[in-house]
Homo-oligomer: A and B are copies of this chain.
Amino acid sequence: MKTPAQRGRGTRGLTRDEVLDATLALAEDRGLDAVSMRAVADRLGVTPMALYRYVGDKQGLLDGLVERLLREMPDDDPALPWQDRLRAFGTGIREIARRHPDLFLLLFMRPSVTPEARRPRNAVQSMLRDAGVPEEIVQPLQRLLDTIGMGLAASEANGRFTGPSEEIDAVYALAEDLLLTAIERYARS
A-side residues, CB < 8 A to B, are 105, 108-113, 137, 139-141, 143-144, 147-148, 150-152, 154-155, 158-162, 167, 170-171, 173-175, 177-179, 181-182, 185
State whether A144 touches B178 (Cβ < 8 A): yes
State whether B158 touches A143 (Cβ < 8 A): no
Which residue of chain B is the closest to A136 with respect to CB atoms? B170
Q: Shortest CB–CB separation between residue A121 and chain B, in angstroms?
A: 10
Q: Shortest CB–CB separation between residue A182 and chain B, in angstroms?
A: 5
| Separation of A139 and B161 alpha carbons in the complex (Å) | 11
State whether B171 touches A144 (Cβ < 8 A): yes
Chain A interface, DSSP helix/strand/loop, else mixed: helix
Copies in the complex: 2
Which residue of chain B is the closest to A155 with respect to CB atoms? B147
Which residue of chain B is the closest to A104 with respect to CB atoms? B108
Give every chain B residue within 8 A of A112 (Cβ-Cβ). Answer: 160
Query: What are 26 A-B pairs with beta-carbon distances under 8 A?
Result: A105-B109, A108-B108, A108-B154, A108-B155, A108-B158, A109-B158, A110-B158, A111-B162, A137-B170, A140-B167, A140-B170, A140-B171, A141-B174, A143-B155, A143-B161, A144-B152, A144-B174, A147-B148, A147-B155, A147-B171, A148-B151, A150-B151, A151-B154, A178-B178, A178-B179, A181-B181
Give every chain B residue within 8 A of A110 (Cβ-Cβ). Answer: 158
Q: Shortest CB–CB separation between residue A118 and chain B, in angstroms?
A: 12
* Besides A108-B154, A148-B148, A151-B154, 8 other A-B contacts (C-beta < 8 A): A111-B162, A139-B167, A144-B152, A144-B174, A144-B175, A147-B155, A178-B179, A181-B185
